[in-house]
Amino acid sequence: MGPVPRIDESAAAAAPTLSRSQRLDRLPFTREHGRLLGGAGIGWALDAMDVGLISFVMAALSRQWQLSDTSLSLIGSIGFVGMALGATLGGLLADRIGRRNVFAFTLLLYGLATGASALATSVGALLVLRFIVGLGLGSELPVASTLVSEYAPARIRGRLVVILEAFWAVGWLLAALLGYLVVAGSDNGWRWALALGAVPAVYALYVRRSIPESVRFLESTGRHAEAEAAVQRFEGSTPMFGGAAGPVAPPAAAGDAPADGAVTAPADAPVTATGLSALWGASLRSRTLGLWLVWFFVNFAYYGAFTWLPTLLVADGMTMVKSFQYTLIITAAQLPGYAVAAYLIERWGRRPTLASFLVGAAGAAALFAVASTPAGVLTAGCLLSFFCLGAWGALYAVTPEMYPTAVRGTGAGWASGFGRLASILAPLAVPVLNRAGDLWLVFTVFAGAFVIAAAAALLLQERKGVALEQ
């Protein structure tokens, strides 16, 4: 971790009158913020690589092992069963043993299980290992976004979490490259690709040593000396983009109107309950309902579409290599989607950005449903990728902001866990929908799911520029 950096006199003078969270909110974007964002983002990219790989492995196994749609659906869904359970448990553990500890352990767990999946010789063995992979993945994702949210200055918090989510596109691109270059290259290509998925187990060691624990968590558990050291570490760090070190304009408190005139949420009554009961208390009920609905329907449409996309294209007459090539191009469209969402989330706000991207995703899914030419499939797929992943970025930004510190990990974990139920159902539903009405019915249903998610987003409170609740 290195020695605690010295801070300048103005920052030291401010310390007695400001809370540690307020001191963090007043900082510019520093090199410590960059290290945290990069460290968490690499873990996020490795997660995405693992999730993305299974779609290419499914396409390969459908031919090599001559698997039925039922077996492929189970392989696609079982990881999400683990993710649903892992997200819930991971959020609870993050509020009890710390964000960093859960982040590191889950990287280790799913990395080892992914590497072991390369040795699977039967569907049964692969299903067990994919379930364990899902436990780790589901736990890690909401915890990482919570950790970054709790260090990010309020005025750029949403943007930083969207940038964190953008690492998902990097990981999915890595998966698409491995699918195109490795999985399609030989009969054992899928095994080599899964073996590379063990990298997170090694990366977990770096996370445990280098990424700081949440200041808000340290304070909530009475570890004030560690919390102070972490704040001073950020206060003494060099700004990333020039300018003087030290505090900047303070963020708005809940109920205040920021300088740009945006309307923000009023202060909430203190939350005294813990766990699931707190999430459904009077002050948090509507936002919990909105989050759970958005998470559910976005998971259903996203994982239903992208888990099956390579296999559906092969079934529609493309060669496996051509299918993987199209998927790679479609995946690349995720990156500009994140970039636009990262810009708009601090201009428009969280709720309008999330709802707009979900409406755009619904339109793109409808276009995919009627696409009849390769150019049409590619265009609709790129638009779907752009809007859907921009919506994911906004969703991960808004989720931790809906809850106070004591239940922030729990709230994010339960929202993610409930959403994962849809990611279990979606891969099972796709073959049924495809047999009933081909790609038209599959993607029309996905378009409807995005519309419902957009409506549910209107239940969320707007937290643009507002300090996180204690």
What are the respective helix, strand and coil percentages of the chain, to the nearest 5? 75, 0, 25
Q: What's the CA gap between 41 and 37, in Å, rounded?
A: 6
Nearest one of 67, 79, 68, 123 to 435, comparing CA atoms: 68
Answer whether 447's CB lies under 8 Å from 363's CB: yes
User: In DSSP terms, which residues pair with 284 in a beta bridge?
Assistant: none
Supply the pLDDT for residue 386.
Answer: 95
Place of tokens 């009849």: 372
SS3 at position 48: helix
Q: What's the CA gap between 157 and 351, in Å, rounded?
A: 14
Supply the pLDDT for residue 214.
Answer: 87
> What pTM was estimated for this model as a whole?
0.72
Supply the pLDDT for residue 261.
Answer: 37
261, with CB counted inside 10 A (0-12, 13-18, 19+), is exposed
Contacts of 466 (CB under 8 A, 6+ apart): 154, 251, 252, 253, 254, 256, 258, 264, 265, 401
Supply the pLDDT for residue 275.
Answer: 66
Q: What's the CA gap between 56 and 180, in Å, rounded?
A: 9
Q: What's the CA gap between 204 and 391, in Å, rounded?
A: 28
Which amino acid would we find at residue 249? A
Q: Please give the chain's pLDDT, 470 residues, in tens.
A: 445 445 454 444 444 578 888 898 889 999 999 989 988 888 888 888 888 888 788 888 888 888 887 888 888 788 888 888 887 788 778 888 888 888 888 888 888 898 899 999 899 999 999 999 888 888 887 788 888 888 988 888 888 988 988 888 888 888 888 888 888 778 888 899 888 888 887 888 777 778 888 898 898 888 999 999 999 999 988 887 654 444 454 444 444 434 333 334 444 544 545 567 788 888 888 989 999 999 999 999 988 888 777 767 766 666 666 777 787 888 888 889 989 998 999 889 889 999 999 999 999 999 998 887 888 888 998 999 999 989 998 998 888 888 887 788 788 888 888 988 898 888 788 888 888 877 789 899 999 999 999 999 999 988 877 777 65
Nearest one of 287, 258, 298, 276 to 403, comparing CA atoms: 287
Q: Which two tokens stand for residue 69?
A: 């749609």
Q: What's the CA gap between 419 and 430, in Å, rounded?
A: 17
Number of alpha helices (DSSP H) and beta strands (DSSP E) in the chain: 18, 0
Q: Output Rg (C-alpha) for the chain, integer angstroms.
A: 22
Supply the pLDDT for residue 12.
Answer: 46
Q: What's the CA gap between 44 and 38, in Å, rounded?
A: 10
Q: Output b/e per residue, 136-156; b: 16+ Cβ within 10 A.
A: bbbbbbbbbbbbbbbbbbbbb
